[in-house]
Structure 1
Amino acid sequence: MKILIGLKTKIFIGILVLFIGTFSIAYRYNRTVQIITLVLVHNYIYPSTKFRVDGDKLYMTGLISSLTPGQLKKLIDENPEIKTIVLEHIDGSLDDASNFPMGKYVREKGLNTYLNSDSEVSSGGTDFFLSGVNRTIEEGAYLGVHSWEGMGDGDPIEAKDIPKEDPQHRANAEYINYMLGSEDFYWYTIYAAPADGMHQMTKDEILKYKVATKIIKN
């Protein structure tokens, strides 16, 4: 059977093929396109944070996105016995506008946070770890921090190079102050590693900035 395709349909298919091809090339070679795609997919399409409940513990792994607070609140509402959130592998946050309020929610609920000896938590995951009333780390856990990029005269600029009084610092600094009673940890993080790098915190640094309330030796 012969199928007839109209001119408009042919044009549409041609444009679609061209778009897919162009996007594929851009995604492969352009870091900005990769980041934008990652944010769109995990913030609005596919939940990137995975949870499981075991007794009074809620285990959490993946990227924190704008979908994560809803997932977390639903599980806590359905499982009022939860006392501790165990962070397993959290590479970071795609949306601080969601991550910070979620952290404050956890603190207001009086929940604790915990890192196992094989936990690997970085960036926005480290920020979220601070939300626990009691914050326990088993020796061997990886806790990473780094700077972030803001805008200066229209161009990207490292946070450490942005004047301290600039409003771009406020959301991060105020969150840290809310959790730890001081902004010191925030200012430490922006010098610890560049935005595209990561610094693994030492035990001394963790204690100095009161990131953990308890460190457990194995």
Structure 2
Amino acid sequence: MLFEKSALMAQPRQAELTATKGENPLIWPLLSLLQASNQSWKVHHLATALQDKGLMHDLDPAPEKDLFKRNFLLMNALYELQEILLPNQWLQVRAMEIQIFRIIPADINQQLVADNNLREYYLDWQNYDASVNVVRQMLESFWSSYQQYIGLNVKLMHKTSALRVFELDDTATDRDIRKQWRKLALKWHPDRPDGDAARFREICEAWQTLRESA
């Protein structure tokens, strides 16, 4: 086997912000940007593109802190997306060279190990320098913007219906739901080869219901 994903990616983070009942919503618009271009991106170019779409907000009144927090939010989403795409695709995460490759590099083990400290830093929300409630509110704000951007129905569906969309039953745990959300969102994302925009919106609406009812 090329690699054991569970051994290479960071161990479950105790500091991960589970209280948000969700995840960084910039993951999916970043996937759209990266899939739409074969060239590499720079972090600040990604930030500008997201801002133009109304998906990147001011995060701090102090300019230097705002810049740091924007960078943190982007890097967090990129490392989350890197994990989601493996083992089928490789997302290279470097400040000046961010790009998705369809072929996994032969030295992926070395690359993952070399980036491990940086990955763990950006996946630990404690390094964002904000309380759990502040981060939760920030992510809720970003999620609301993304809902408007992709045209989600703001009316929540029934939880049973949402679980049916996720192909789960009422015995599903929060972990099961989160895992299925990532699997289905990646499968039906409109920028994937077999993606479907309507199906992706339905998945997002179900996810919003399950986040609210968790």
Task: State which structure, 1 or 2, has the greater radius of gyration over its C-alpha atoms.
Answer: 1
On whether the aligned pair clears a TM of 0.5, the verdict is no
TM-score, reference length from structure 1: 0.27
TM-score, reference length from structure 2: 0.28
Q: Which has the higher strand share?
A: 1
Structure with the greater relative contact order (CA < 8 A, sep ≥ 6): 1 or 2? 2
Q: Which has the higher helix share?
A: 2
